[in-house]
Amino acid sequence: MMCRVMTVTDEHLLEKVKVFLAERSRIKFGYPIFLLRSLVSSPRLKDVYVRDFSADGLIEVGDSYLDKCTMLSDQPQKTYGISIDQWEAVESRATFVDEFHFRDTSVIKLQVWPFDPSSLTAEQLRVAVAVSFTELEIFDEPRLALALDELLEDISVTTGYEYRFER
């Protein structure tokens, strides 16, 4: 299979991912997540924290999605996906927040995506959420790494790898 970056909206996403991974060398515990992140582009364009924002019609992504599908416990500030078109229509009315108390449930995190996350199939959404996390987020939060390992276990993708650089 030729290596090309796909979007999570690809109709045969999971089949193509499995073929791609099967053609690669597997490490002890599976395929490193950077292979998946190299093959499938992240839908996450940016994050914004907003107060008193209606999440009606939006679906949970990020940590909130992982909270529903794995053992990861979410923060009080839920994370929702919103399309760039939806965001641009409401952005001028949103109350942006930079700092807030960690228990403040009036604040939510919005991940702006290029398309409506609710248009994805369950499998596409699972991969989209997985590739939306950055290497830094995975590195900084061991619980997140474990949740992603659990989420991607059936395709043998793991966060348990290390980079080695020699000079």
Q: What confidence tens digit (pLDDT) does each residue in 12-63 have?
A: 999 999 999 988 877 778 899 999 999 999 999 999 999 999 999 999 999 9
Residues with Cβ within 8 Å of 126's Cβ and at least 6 positions away in sequence, in order, are: 69, 151, 152
Question: Would you tell me the crossing angle of helices 142-151 and 122-132 to the nearest 10 degrees?
Answer: 150
The distance of Cα 137 from the centroid of its chain, to the nearest Å, equals 11
In the chain, the largest separation of any two C-alpha atoms, in whole Å, equals: 52
Task: Say what the pTM is.
Answer: 0.91
